[in-house]
Amino acid sequence: MGIVNVTPDSFSDGGRWADRDSAVAHGRELLAHGADILDIGGESTRPGATRPLVAEELDRVLPVISALVAEGAVVSVDTMRGEVAAAAVEAGARLVNDVSGGLADPAILGVVARSDASYVAMHWRAHSHHMQSFAVYDGPGGVVAAVRAELADRLAAIEAAGIPAERVVLDPGLGFAKTAGHNWELLGAIDQLASLGRPLLVGASRKGFLGALLADEAGSPRRVDGREHAHAALVALLAERGVWGLRVHDVRATTDALAAWAALRDAEEAR
């Protein structure tokens, strides 16, 4: 899943593709590099981000979705809002990628249920401006048990809203109300999340926990544009664990890593 941020303030590439033409061109580039899905988003969810007005979000994403769908792309809309999801599906989006899992706007579940779109539900506790104050997992089993239980609750609510389970993908929500340590714990227990019985989407690309891992001797995190090698290694390990989807900024680096992983797997199977 290649990321197309049509925003001025995303953490990794804010403003680079904030207008229709540059966003569509970037989408074409990601497809050429091997993306299967393009995830079009008009709201930054980086820590501390301010939400745009609904009209702003619609103006950002709809022209890009329409153009890329017209060129044959499989498009996902990255939104928490039912109004935006409805308009995006009408414009041809085939997935609704909701980082709030239906908590920010419960109406979004009805929108998806009335369509034939698939739905990605991420683990989420609060909006970006204060989400890190919710990064507390003190119960038995810690962050893994809590995320699994909360995703199970969302899955039940999604199915109750009329969305068939076979159209649902789950996302552990790396970086959302989570510390770097929490993110690594979740990645290390991906099989426990997979036991919920739904495909998993993982978005680790360029996130702060990779910057912290690669910090310099003074403790300063590695810059966003210097985290791709670590992410490529992580991609191959997640593929080994059967993750359904990878939400990434650098599609070429990701497909290269997957090609190397697949070649090694094939060689092992041929022995």
DSSP 203-227: --TT-HHHHHHT--TT-PPPPGGG-
Statement to judge: residues 151 and 211 lie in one domain: no
Statement to judge: residues 23 and 93 lie in one domain: yes
- pLDDT value at residue 15: 66
Q: What value does the mean pLDDT take over residues 212-227?
A: 95
Contact 164, 121 (CB under 8 A): no
Catalytic residue selected from 247, 252, 265, 271: 247
At 200, phi and psi to the nearest 5? Answer: -115, 135
Mapping DSSP to helix (H, G, I), strand (E, B) and coil, where does residue 249 land? coil
Q: Which two tokens stand for residue 241?
A: 């664990």
pLDDT band, residue 82 (cuts 50/70/90): very high
Asked if the model's pLDDT at residue 53 lies above 70, the reply is yes
Catalytic residue selected from 154, 167, 207, 222: 207
How confident is the model over 226-247, as pLDDT tens digits? 999 999 999 999 999 999 999 9
Residue 174: which CATH number?
A: 3.20.20.20
Q: What value does the mean pLDDT take over residues 241-257?
A: 96
- pLDDT value at residue 204: 97
Statement to judge: residues 155 and 175 lie in one domain: yes
Statement to judge: residues 197 and 216 lie in one domain: no
In terms of Cα–Cα distance, which of 143, 141, 209, 196 is closest to 165? 196
Q: Which residue type is seen at 91? A: A
Whole-model pTM: value is 0.94
Asked if the model's pLDDT at residue 35 lies above 90, the reply is yes
pLDDT band, residue 211 (cuts 50/70/90): very high
Asked if the model's pLDDT at residue 16 lies above 80, the reply is no
Statement to judge: residues 134 and 150 lie in one domain: yes
Q: Provide the mean pLDDT of the chain.
A: 94
- pLDDT value at residue 10: 58
Statement to judge: residues 23 and 123 lie in one domain: yes
DSSP assigned state of 125:
-
% of the chain at pLDDT higher than 70 = 97
Q: Is 247 a catalytic residue?
A: yes
Q: Is 178 a catalytic residue?
A: no
Contact 235, 246 (CB under 8 A): yes
pLDDT band, residue 45 (cuts 50/70/90): confident
Q: What value does the mean pLDDT take over residues 222-228?
A: 93
Number of domains in the chain: 2
Statement to judge: residues 9 and 128 lie in one domain: yes
Statement to judge: residues 259 and 132 lie in one domain: no
Q: What value does the mean pLDDT take over residues 82-95?
A: 98
Statement to judge: residues 178 and 221 lie in one domain: no
Of the ranges 4-18, 48-62, 126-140, 219-233, which one carries the lowest mean pLDDT score?
Answer: 4-18
Q: What value does the mean pLDDT take over residues 10-25?
A: 77
| Domain membership of residue 239 as a residue range | 205-243+251-270
Q: What value does the mean pLDDT take over residues 25-33?
A: 97
Statement to judge: residues 60 and 133 lie in one domain: yes
Statement to judge: residues 186 and 231 lie in one domain: no
% of the chain at pLDDT higher than 90 = 89
Asked if the model's pLDDT at residue 11 lies above 60, the reply is no
pLDDT band, residue 129 (cuts 50/70/90): confident
Statement to judge: residues 10 and 77 lie in one domain: yes
